Amino acid sequence: MLGVKPASLYAYVSRGRIQSTRIEGINGSVFALADIEAFAGRGAPRPPLGVVERIRTHITLLENDSQYYRGVDVAELAGEKAFEDVAELLWGVPAQWAVRGRRSLTERDRRAIRRLVAGARGVDVIRMVTDTLGARDPGRHETRPAQVQIRLPPSSSMPCRHCRYSAVPQCPRPPQCPRPLLHPAHRRPPRSRQVCGRD
């Protein structure tokens, strides 16, 4: 596998690059396959910086300029699935989204969010809304699994970032939203001419 003489292999062992083990009844040393494969891969040519040929984890696959979560194309998830459905897919367990005792967003929360998200990038909006609502959550320090699962708010409590209507109350005029996305206030997919390439 390494393509070297036994003497070279033992030199690697003596330098601590590969671990050897003795097993009773077997002449010589044995080596962990993972150690040998890792050592053999050290000399393999690496792709140029910035090139990703294929990355696979238990959740994510990056291949051919596409990204997949648990085998589902991310573009499909973003365009056709609700936030809760994607969370269940990523976590690998059905989430209990019917939250007991959840209070709706107050008008103070809505005003704060509207001020924060004006002109912000999508990633910044998520961070700011999460920070704002998290700071006002009385159970924010609760870490017991049962309580954490109960406290997960559905995305329907978030305002649509394009027309600023919240799902509670429902957007009175969804067609007038400049870019109606799959937001609970609208419940319809965007048409391609309504979605611009940048946020």
pLDDT at 55: 61
Q: What type of residue is 37? A: E
The CA distances from residue 95 to 78, 111, 172, 183, in Å, are 19, 29, 29, 19
- Mean pLDDT to the nearest integer, 121-140: 78
Q: Is 186 within 8 Å of 171 (Cβ atoms)?
A: yes
SS3 state of residue 31: strand
Write the CB contacts of 174 (distance below 8 Å, at least 6 apart in sequence). 180, 185, 186, 187, 188
Domain boundaries, the chain: 6-42, 54-91, 107-194
pLDDT of residue 170: 45
Asked whether the beta carbons of 159 and 165 are under 8 A apart, the reply is yes
Burial class for 106, CB neighbours closer than 10 Å (0-12, 13-18, 19+): exposed
- Asked if 77 contacts 89 with a C-beta cutoff of 8 angstroms, the reply is yes
Residues 46-94 have pLDDT tens digits of 666 665 556 666 788 887 778 888 888 888 888 888 777 888 888 776 6
% of the chain residues with pLDDT over 90: 0
DSSP state of 39: H
Confidence of residue 42 (pLDDT cuts 50, 70, 90): low
Pairing, β 54-56 against β 60-63: antiparallel
Taking residues 99-120, report their average pLDDT.
Answer: 70
pTM of structure: 0.29
Task: Return the number of other C-beta atoms located less than 10 Å from residue 90's C-beta.
Answer: 13
